Chains A and B, each alone.
Chain A
Amino acid sequence: MVTDAENVMEIVMPAFGRMLWRHSGEPGMLIPLLQAAQDSYAYVPPLAIEQIAEATGIPASEVFGVITFYKQFRLKPPGKHIIRVCKGTACHVLGADMIAQTVEEELGIVRDETSGDGLFTFLEVACLGCCSLAPVVMIDEQAYGCLTPRKLRGVLRRFRRKADQAA
């Protein structure tokens, strides 16, 4: 039976709000709630930490401890596009360091930073699992394989041009 209140929630609240609303004290829901918050806001905002702490009865300090333990969670909003440079073994032996350096050079930021225009956030990840395409970079959901510094530079510039045209 869906109540009117829940119907309203479906329409106006993001997934995180609905999950929080329905939270019934079931154990083990902390990480799924944090994931829902990040899905809804692209990061875990301070307000969400408070709300989760209240709903689950877990102290905010402990929630914070869980957030910082796992790599997936961000405490700052990311840029429009997320660049993940694969640092897996296959990518490493085929030149991933050079690829990461190219991103640094081209965007003027180091890993875990967001470019000044808010267009890119640069992350390094352990392995994207497309080892036969090494070295690989994933921008949002799309992987770019068999890269050289030059090819990657071309890809990044295409993104920038597209953003400039849109602006």
Chain B
Amino acid sequence: MREVVVGLGSCGIAAGGLAVQQRFKELLESGKERVTLKETGCIGLCYREVLVEVFEDGRRRTLYGEMTPERVDRIVFEHLLQGKVVGEWAVDREEVLARQKRIVLRNCGEIDPSRIEEYRARGGYQALEKAVTGMTPEQVIETIADSGLRGRGGAGFPTGTKWRLARASEDEHKYVICNADEGDPGAFMDRSVLEGDPHSVVEGMAIAGYAIGAGEGYIYIRAEYPLAIRRLRGAVVGAGEKGFLGRNLFGSGFDFSIRLKEGAGAFVCGEETALIASIEGKRGMPRVRPPFPTEAGLWGHPTCINNVETLANVAWIISHRAEAFRSYGTENSKGTKVFALAGKVRRGGLVEVPMGTSINEIIYGIGGGTVSGGPFKAVQMGGPSGGCIPASLGDTPIDYEQITATGAIMGSGGMVVMDESTCMVDVARFFLSFTQNESCGKCTFCRIGTKRMLEILERICTGRGKPEDLATLAELGEQIKASSLCGLGQTATNPVLTTLRYFHDEYEVHIHEGKCPAKVCLALVDFGIDPERCNGCGLCSKACDAGAIRGEINEVHRIDRSKCVRCGKCITVCNRDAVWKG
């Protein structure tokens, strides 16, 4: 049976996937092509969205990119009716996928996430059955420990150790929590897994519950991910109907149920004690550890908190054994890691590589290099808690310890590529304004220190920096690290400290020469109007509050630099993209 599969993850939908699906529906319903129309989650090649895959008899597959409702007609008439592949829109999957190893993403883009049968057909819930009917909880924990799996939320704590601690805490009630509060800007791995393969997370949670002796699980998920919530809810209900959740799973006497809790928009709730406070209905503020959640967590009971990606690995490890997982990776970092590759990279998307792959390999080999074709300047890893790794360290392998040695962190998996047109001072300011805004306010250094640092960075970006600012930034940065209770404050200054370390010159040029080499900081660049493009419409002169733009209607306008306050308004109003900055 031939199939047409439309990629309907969030980015597929954002790019217009539903209209493409609708057009296929219209054409295929009326025709006699005998083709099944299906949907799937994120296929991973986000830079070519909307993606559509055509499967012919014998499972020969063709992937099409940049689909629009208009282009659907040609796919139907040429490919489905006449059997001719439409070469110009076909995407070479191998170019991107050949260098990857998909464990977490094993089903993403392959199955319809809303149909539990498709997950079953690829071995789904067999690991749970194997665990609860054929293994003791201790054996499950040993397998996970033996695999070398470490927490994929960023910190890299060994999962087996965490489970062992939770198992050892004696209590009638224990909980498993799936941390799906993916808050790092620039990271969308967890969302894609939840949208594309929700059952793998549900199964991982049930296995974790069996291992530690918990009967109940919570998934704490960002409210900003409506599609992921819908698919997860469907998966939990579906698994319950088939007997993979609920009472007496596989006749083993083990009970496990899952509830969803929607977050309400607070970055700090990704921290485990804050997350617990939020599930309990309180302000999400972290508390002192110990006691760790594995001793006293939700409602005071032992709680094991794992990240989405960690849990999505679990069923695979149980099915394939620890050795298979351990065969990928470096000495201390085993298995694979999923990254959300974005920014100024040609082939952005969702990638999963074995640990040990170098940063260069990901950016050039998989990502196809930068948009401009030049070398990349830095790559930001770990979001607001991470740092900027310069191109000179591009050979660094993906490994918890080696990434930490650069000053960045592995983090949850955001990887934002930056090139010459990115200002590193501006990037540091951007991240600090984020964490400053998201600080819960409990620790003085995090609350006030980040604010003071932000003020200094804002001054530097507007050309009012002082020579002593850099030393103050470094000093404050270290103090905030040392004096904050939770990971948010302890890592908040990493973006500033790493850029100070690797891009010191750029700070100096801002302060001493009053220039922004990347031409990003508006106060430090010049504006002009391209006479070739300007049609003299007058919009810019009307918008300019400083009265710096002059020109007759229908004639080329000019900017008087002595009056220009460099606000950038003229750029946003121009209908012909005629205003330049440089």
Q: A residues engaging B (CB < 8 A)?
A: 27-32, 34-35, 58, 65-66, 69-73, 87-90, 92-94, 97-98, 101-102, 105, 125-134, 136, 141-145, 148-150, 153
Contacts and interface: CB of A to CB of B under 8 A. Distances in A.
Contacts of B187: 127, 129
Contact of A35 (B223, B279, B383): B223
Given A31-B264, A72-B223, A132-B11, A89 B281 contact: no
Contacts of B434: 87, 126
A129 B10 contact: yes
B14 A94 contact: no
A130 B267 contact: no
Contact of B281 (A29, A71, A129): A29
A149 B572 CA distance: 5
Given A72-B265, A130-B10, A66 B281 contact: yes
Q: Chain B interface residue count: which class?
A: 35 or more
Given A27-B299, A90-B416, A132-B11, A66 B191 contact: no
B244 to A, nearest CB: 25
24 contacts: A30-B282, A70-B266, A70-B284, A89-B383, A89-B416, A90-B185, A90-B186, A93-B418, A93-B422, A101-B569, A129-B10, A129-B182, A129-B188, A129-B225, A131-B186, A131-B343, A132-B11, A132-B342, A133-B14, A133-B49, A142-B14, A143-B14, A150-B574, A153-B573
Leading 6 A-B pairs by shortest Cβ distance: A89-B186, A143-B14, A71-B265, A132-B46, A131-B342, A70-B264
Contacts of A134: 342-343
Contacts of B568: 97-98, 101
Contacts, number: 154
Given A31-B281, A35-B264, A94-B344, A127 B184 contact: yes
Given A32-B262, A131-B342, A88 B186 contact: yes
Given A32-B262, A92-B430, A132 B278 contact: no
Which of A34, A92, A128, A142 gathers most chain B CB within 10 Å?
A92
Contacts of B574: 149-150
Nearest to A91: B185
Contacts of A93: 343-344, 416, 418, 422, 427
Interface in B223-245: 223-226
Contacts of A32: 261-262
A31 B267 CA distance: 16
A65 B283 contact: yes
B322 to A, nearest CB: 32
A34 B100 CA distance: 43
B309 to A, nearest CB: 15
Contacts of A148: 577
Interface in B423-468: 427, 430-431, 434, 438, 440
Contacts of B282: 30, 66
B46 A27 contact: no
B541 interface: no
Contacts of B422: 93
A130 B279 contact: no
A87 B430 CA distance: 9
A105 B293 CA distance: 48
A130 B188 contact: yes
A139 B121 CA distance: 38
Nearest to B430: A92
B383 A145 contact: no
Contacts of B573: 105, 149, 153
A138 to B, nearest CB: 8
Nearest to A148: B577
A142 B19 CA distance: 12
A98 B571 contact: yes
A89 B14 contact: no
Contact of A89 (B267, B278, B414): B414
Nearest to B348: A132
B372 interface: no
B224 A129 contact: yes
A72 B283 CA distance: 13
B342 A89 contact: yes
A15 B228 CA distance: 22
A141 to B, nearest CB: 8
A145 B17 CA distance: 13
Contact of A128 (B223, B224, B266, B380): B224
B340 interface: yes
B14 A70 contact: no
B185 A126 contact: yes
A139 to B, nearest CB: 11
- Residue from B283, B342, B383, B434 whose CB has the most chain A CB atoms within 10 Å: B342
Contacts of B284: 69-70
Contacts of A90: 185-186, 342-343, 348, 416
B409 interface: no
Given A70-B266, A126-B183, 4 more contacts: A98-B571, A127-B186, A130-B14, A150-B575
Interface string B316-340: 0000000000000000000000001
Contact of B265 (A70, A92, A97): A70
Contacts of A153: 573, 575
Interface string B21-50: 000000000000000000000000011010
A132 B343 CA distance: 7
Contact of A149 (B223, B226, B571): B571
B265 A88 contact: no
B22 to A, nearest CB: 14
Residue with the highest number of chain B CB atoms closer than 10 Å, among A131, A144, A149? A131
A105 B543 contact: yes
B15 interface: yes
A73 B15 CA distance: 28
B185 A127 contact: yes
Contacts of A34: 264
A32 B260 CA distance: 11
A88 B427 CA distance: 11
Given A70-B284, A72-B264, A73-B264, A89 B185 contact: yes
A132 B47 contact: yes
A94 B438 CA distance: 22
Contacts of B182: 129
